[in-house]
């Protein structure tokens, strides 16, 4: 991209350009994303030219004579691409960009005007005001009786920014017409209607606020100085500001706080609280902004933002740095850790360096202990699961404790004699660990629970992906932070629980009943992807305290293409399908680093890499550092995809033996255990599919996973 020296830029602005305001509309940013990477580069260069020399003849402004708004002009980028600009008074605003005919078509029926009630500038697709003219091309008599907004009167709709000519269409809209309606309305009206449909809007939001003296002072002819308009029509004062406006769109949604989410960041709680919601509803965004909000309330407080893996912690750190880019002092006050890293840091400060047993070592110890005790009627998978989720996680030290313990969400029923046999195995395993001076993270957290209060270094703790933390980790957090005002804030989705068996939070002193909120608006994933992924899970899911979470009523704010689910005859055919799909994504302007390819296990990495290479691209395995280069496609296991987002996702190798994983299923014989595995395997596929924002491809070979038939 061409750059001008600051001196030259200043000269052009002061000597050759009238004192005009230069703005970038949100619609311009969104349309820019739909162009190819090369097209985006030349459009950005032209945007700089316009900003620096608005009145210059080189920019070739042409008035659009056939547009309903006579302030719309076109700017030639090349022989095919046109920018639609709006010139009014001392304001020049870039509003849209596309190929010639499509750009002109967009501008033809749109106007920019001030809403007569709210006073905010709006871009409106002009329609006839007659009630007999329907925006969906059908007669009003044909509309279904189940109307979403029938209870809202004209005054209430005006208060949230609905233009007059759309009032009838809003009041007669049913669910099938909802997305078409919201796409046609100004953004502020769409946001409020989405909130209302999701049940998250208050009566106060439906009342037109009384203008303040400041509002009156800032009032302008077009309504661009209105607070809501300022976030949709960004005023750009210098070259750096333009860079930010043009380069930020792809990252914007990863840290931008939407209205439905905002209220949950600022609530005050006595003790612990939780926000939940399905994939894409912005739980992580709420967690990030919660941290920023608490810092703003009292900059002297220390804040911890944490999760349960290195990869997720690295992703949180990246997003926090984007969010707080202009506030380095806040970054210094907010620590980001994965929980094991937090414990490790504390131990190192005290000169301790524990030797943690590996999963392979532990399985070996359990096998040896079973043979030694002559108790060989239990599968290795069951033994490991019982050790991880019961014995180790809950710190069981005696047979009596084990026999008295409720199953804590475990599906397998065990009698006293069975527990006596199993205890022989676990007791021997404990001895083997002690003999070799090995320990576990669960034991580490239990020891920290007993430590002096100096362990508690933070005033506020925010936990992301909370559904997958262990009981030992939760107990540690509850012990040191649970009784503080706004001490613990959890964000998670029990529908995405893929690492841990469920357990009771209240038994550990974490009671979020009455302090739990559910997000219902999906800002990340298209309606088509979300709706199909939701088919994998039940409408209601219970947590470890038997509290049901209702997942119905979730709404996506944008539509996209239908997910493709394809079964192939062999791996060669699958590689070709995935390769063609990758090439299509890149041809449509999506960069390689915005594409993710996921498989069930590392053994399937070869299939992912073959498809990537066949498309002419390079691939890089996701790691916790998230340091892949921009020219490579990310690939990894479905587990590694957790908490991440991509514009386009391919979930491949979904074969019959892969989902549910055959190696995992054959380790168990009890029906209850098998059902639990089935549940987590479904949730794993759900997690992988919902990493996609715009495009999703799911493939398998042969008969394919049985879950694909539900997904389709």
Q: What is the pLDDT of residue 136?
A: 45
Q: What is the pLDDT of residue 367?
A: 93
* Alpha-helix runs per DSSP H in 203-303: 213-218, 227-230, 239-247, 249-255, 259-265, 283-297
Residues 6+ positions from 395 with CB-CB distance below 8 Å: 442, 443, 446, 472
Name the percent of the chain lying above pLDDT 70.
Answer: 84
| Spatial separation of the C-alpha atoms in residues 427 and 65, rounded to whole Å | 85
Q: What is the pLDDT of residue 444?
A: 93
CB 81, CB 45: distance < 8 Å: no
Q: What is the pLDDT of residue 442?
A: 93
Confidence check: pLDDT of 254 > 70: no
Who has greater pLDDT, 401 or 15?
401
Among residues 428, 420, 312, the alpha carbon closest in space to that of 370 is found at: 428
Residues 6+ positions from 136 with CB-CB distance below 8 Å: 177, 180
| Spatial separation of the C-alpha atoms in residues 608 and 688, rounded to whole Å | 14
Chain-centroid distance of CA 417 in Å reads 47
Mean pLDDT confidence for 182-191: 83
Reported confidence tier of residue 627, pLDDT bands at 50, 70, 90: low
Mean pLDDT confidence for 131-160: 65
Helix (H) / strand (E) element for 694: namely strand 692-701
Q: What is the pLDDT of residue 483?
A: 84
Q: What is the pLDDT of residue 334?
A: 95
Mean pLDDT confidence for 24-28: 90
Confidence check: pLDDT of 6 > 50: no
Length of the chain: 712
Mean pLDDT confidence for 25-31: 88
Q: What is the DSSP string of 150-185?
A: TT--HHHHHHTT--GGGHHHHHT-BGGGHHHHHHHS
| Spatial separation of the C-alpha atoms in residues 511 and 141, rounded to whole Å | 51
Confidence check: pLDDT of 408 > 60: no
Span 369-396, pLDDT tens digits: 999 999 988 888 788 888 988 899 889 9
Reported confidence tier of residue 596, pLDDT bands at 50, 70, 90: very high
Name the percent of the chain lying above pLDDT 90.
Answer: 37
Q: Tokens 């509850």 — which residue? A: 478
Q: Residue 649 forms beta bridges with which residues?
A: 596, 696
Q: What is the pLDDT of residue 438?
A: 96
| Spatial separation of the C-alpha atoms in residues 188 and 173, rounded to whole Å | 18
Q: What is the pLDDT of residue 426?
A: 95
Helix (H) / strand (E) element for 683: namely helix 671-689
- Of 205-214, 635-644, 682-691, minimum mean pLDDT range: 205-214
CB 354, CB 437: distance < 8 Å: no
CB 594, CB 648: distance < 8 Å: yes
Q: What is the pLDDT of residue 101?
A: 93
Who has greater pLDDT, 542 or 96?
96
Tokens representing 80 are 């095919």
Is it true that the peptide bond before 698 is cis, omega within 30 degrees of 0?
no
Rounded alpha-carbon distances, angstroms, from residue 42 to 30, 79, 522, 525: 16, 12, 32, 29
pTM of this prediction exceeds 0.95? no
Under DSSP, is residue 688 helix (H, G, I), strand (E, B) or coil?
A: helix
Among residues 113, 111, 112, the alpha carbon closest in space to that of 67 is found at: 111
Reported confidence tier of residue 571, pLDDT bands at 50, 70, 90: very high
User: Phi-psi category of 596—alpha, beta or left, where left has phi over 0 and alpha has psi -120 to 50?
Assistant: beta
Reported confidence tier of residue 590, pLDDT bands at 50, 70, 90: confident
Residues 6+ positions from 404 with CB-CB distance below 8 Å: none
In the chain, how many H helices and how many E strands? 29, 24
Who has greater pLDDT, 266 or 668?
266
- Dihedrals phi, psi of 646, to nearest 5 degrees: -140, 150
Helix (H) / strand (E) element for 448: namely helix 441-449
CB 46, CB 60: distance < 8 Å: no
- Of 46-60, 279-293, 549-563, 622-636, minimum mean pLDDT range: 46-60
Confidence check: pLDDT of 252 > 60: no
């Amino acid at each position: 991209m061409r750059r001008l020296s600051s001196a030259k830029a200043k000269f052009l602005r002061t000597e050759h350009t009238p004192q005009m305001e230069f703005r970038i509309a949100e619609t311009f940013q969104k349309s820019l994303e739909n162009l190819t990477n090369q097209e985006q580069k030349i459009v950005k260069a032209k945007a700089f030219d316009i900003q620096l020399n608005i009145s210059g003849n080189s920019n070739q402004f042409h008035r659009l004579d056939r547009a309903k708004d006579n302030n719309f002009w076109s700017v030639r980028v090349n022989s095919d691409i046109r920018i639609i600009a709006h010139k009014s008074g001392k304001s020049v605003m870039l509003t849209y960009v596309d190929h010639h005919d499509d750009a002109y078509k967009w501008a033809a029926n749109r106007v920019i005007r001030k809403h007569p009630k709210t006073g905010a500038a709006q871009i409106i697709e002009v329609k006839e005001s007659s009630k007999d003219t329907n925006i969906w091309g059908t007669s009003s008599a044909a509309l279904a009786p189940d109307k979403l907004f029938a209870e809202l009167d004209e005054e209430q709709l005006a208060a949230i920014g609905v233009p007059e000519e759309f009032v009838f269409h809003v009041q007669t809209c049913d669910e099938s017409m909802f997305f078409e309606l919201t796409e046609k309305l100004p953004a502020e009206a769409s946001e409020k209607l989405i909130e209302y449909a999701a049940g998250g809007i208050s009566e106060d939001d439906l009342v037109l606020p009384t203008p303040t003296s400041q509002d009156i002072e800032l009032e302008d002819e077009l309504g661009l100085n209105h607070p809501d308009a300022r976030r949709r029509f960004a005023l750009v004062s210098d070259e750096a500001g333009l860079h930010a406006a043009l380069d930020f769109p792809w990252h914007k949604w990863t840290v931008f706080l939407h209205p439905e989410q905002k209220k949950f960041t600022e609530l005050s709680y006595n003790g612990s609280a939780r926000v939940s919601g399905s994939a894409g509803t912005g739980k992580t965004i709420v967690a990030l902004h919660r941290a920023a909000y608490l810092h703003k309330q009292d900059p002297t407080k220390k804040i911890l933002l944490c999760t349960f893996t290195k990869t997720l912690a690295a992703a949180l750190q990246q997003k926090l740095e984007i969010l707080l880019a202009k506030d380095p002092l806040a970054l210094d006050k907010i620590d980001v850790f994965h929980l094991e890293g937090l414990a490790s840091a504390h131990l190192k400060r005290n000169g301790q360096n524990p030797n943690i047993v590996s999963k392979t070592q532990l399985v070996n110890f359990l096998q040896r202990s079973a043979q030694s005790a002559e108790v060989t009627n239990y599968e290795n998978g069951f033994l490991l699961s019982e050790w991880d989720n019961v014995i180790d996680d809950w710190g069981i030290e005696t047979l009596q404790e084990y026999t008295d313990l409720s199953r804590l969400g475990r599906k397998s029923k065990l009698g006293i004699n069975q527990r006596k046999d199993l205890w022989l195995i676990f007791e021997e395993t404990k001895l083997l660990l002690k003999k070799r001076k090995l320990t576990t993270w669960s034991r580490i957290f239990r020891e920290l629970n007993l430590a002096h209060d100096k362990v508690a270094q933070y005033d506020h703790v925010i936990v992301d992906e909370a559904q997958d933390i262990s009981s030992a980790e939760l107990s540690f957090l509850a012990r040191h932070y649970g009784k503080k005002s706004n001490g613990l804030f959890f964000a998670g989705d029990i529908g995405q629980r893929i690492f841990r068996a469920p357990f009771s939070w209240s038994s550990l002193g974490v009671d979020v009943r009455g302090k739990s909120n559910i997000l219902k608006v999906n800002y990340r994933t298209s309606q088509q992807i979300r709706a199909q992924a939701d088919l994998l899970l039940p409408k209601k899911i219970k947590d470890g305290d038997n509290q049901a979470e209702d997942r119905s009523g979730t709404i996506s704010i944008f539509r996209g293409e239908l997910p493709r689910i394809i079964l192939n005859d062999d791996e060669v055919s699958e590689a070709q399908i995935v390769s063609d799909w990758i090439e299509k994504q890149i041809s449509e302007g999506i960069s390689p680093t915005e594409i993710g390819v996921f498989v069930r296990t590392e053994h399937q990495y070869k299939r992912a890499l073959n498809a990537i290479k066949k498309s002419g691209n390079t691939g890089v395995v996701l790691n916790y550092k998230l340091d892949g280069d921009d020219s490579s496609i990310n690939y990894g296991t479905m587990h590694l995809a957790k908490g991440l987002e991509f514009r386009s996702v391919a979930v491949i190798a979904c074969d019959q033996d892969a989902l549910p994983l055959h190696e995992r299923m054959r380790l168990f014989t009890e029906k209850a255990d098998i059902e639990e595995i089935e549940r987590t395997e479904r949730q794993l596929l759900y997690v992988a599919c919902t990493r996609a924002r715009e495009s999703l491809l799911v493939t398998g070979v042969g008969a394919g996973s049985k879950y694909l038939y539900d997904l389709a």
